[in-house]
Each structure stands twice: as structure tokens, then as C-alpha cells.
Amino acid sequence: MIFPLMVRADRLRALVVGGGQVAHRKTADLLAAGVEVEVISPKCSLELEELLSARGVLHHRRGFRPGDTAGFGLVVVATDDAALNRSISEEAGRAGIPVNVVDRPELCTVYFPAVVRRENLLLAISTGGGAPFFARELRKRLEAWVDEGWSDRARWAVSLRSYALREVPDPAQRELLFARLMDAAPEEIAEKER
């Protein structure tokens, strides 16, 4: 069983072990979210080298060594060495550090969901690592459905909630107010914001 949890990325240090295409994608995703990243890999793909250089990411140009996971809040393993992947997963697990081993859900304590991101709205879809292709397909369909109108609603909801918590003491009345928000068309919300 998995438990969904959102993490403050700007307070997270992550270690990525690996230097290929998947390590590049995971590193790029982490950096885009504001995570502080370090990479361990004797060599990297050109794309990953360029990303690390452009973003000033610390790259340890060597293989993984026991103890390398210390001090990190997340470990991502993206190597093609099954024994190494298992070893890193076990080390992180013993230290209580969340670990994601690419394409090996049985070695993971955390999974990267497929994500639909709008200005102030984030939807995460996961199969617990069991069928990432299914989560990606569902993400594509949700991206088409969750247009910018939903982002407008979310922005308005944040303002409305803040107002309601201050000005509407009755929880039942607040819930009515929130229900009306969900019934409003995105165009109405945009109009009210002007």
C-alpha cells in the first residue's frame, strides 16, 4: 500500500546515482521542483553533463561508495547495475532515507508519480510503480481535461478559503460557500477576480 504525500522541494537534498538518460530526466525533474541535487556517476550523458554544468550541480565523477547516502533526504538510483541498485536501496533503507530505484518498485520506498501541473494546481497519478505507462496515459488525458480554468478556480479557492476562515465562523456556512465555488464556471471566477 502507498500513501500520497507532498514534500517541500525547497527543503530537500537529493542524491542521484547514475549518469544516463533516466538519471538526466530525474535530475531535471528534481531541479525544476527546486530540490538541491548532487549526482554520483563516473561518466554522464552529454545532456546530463550540460544540465549539471548549467545549473551548477555538484557531480562526483566516481562510482558510488558505501556511506554516500548520508545527509540526503532522498536517494534516486538510476544505474544498470542490479547489485549496486539493491545495495544503495538497502543502505538508504537502513538510514531511513526515502529511495527510488528506477524500474525496480520492490526496491523503492517512494515512487515518482505522473504529474499534471498548472499554475497553482498539482495532480499526481501513481500505480505504485507497477504500471508507469498507465499513469502516463492517464496523465495525458487529465492534462487535456484540466485546463487553465481549473487553475483560476484554485487561485480563487485559496483567496476564498482565507477570507472564509477569517469572516465566516460557522463551518457549515463555509462549506456552502466552498460548494458554490465548485459550481461556478471558470469564466465567472475570472470575471470576479477583475
Half-sphere exposure at residue 172, Cβ-oriented, CA atoms within 13 angstroms: 0
Domain with CATH 3.40.50.720 in the chain: 9-112
Taking residue 7's Cβ as centre, other Cβ atoms within 10 Å add up to 13
- pTM score of the predicted model: 0.82
Strand pairing report for 121-125 and 114-118: antiparallel
| Phi-psi region at 6: left, alpha or beta (left = phi > 0; alpha = psi -120 to 50) | beta
Instruction: Give the gyration radius of the chain's Cα atoms.
Output: 21
The domain 9-112 having CATH identifier 3.40.50.720: the answer here is yes
Tens of pLDDT along the chain (194 residues)? Answer: 888 888 999 999 999 999 999 999 999 999 999 999 999 999 999 999 999 999 999 999 999 999 999 999 999 999 999 999 999 999 999 999 999 999 999 999 999 999 998 888 899 999 888 898 999 999 999 999 998 888 888 888 888 889 899 999 999 999 998 888 777 755 665 565 55
- Dihedral pair phi/psi, residue 69, rounded to 5°: -80, -15
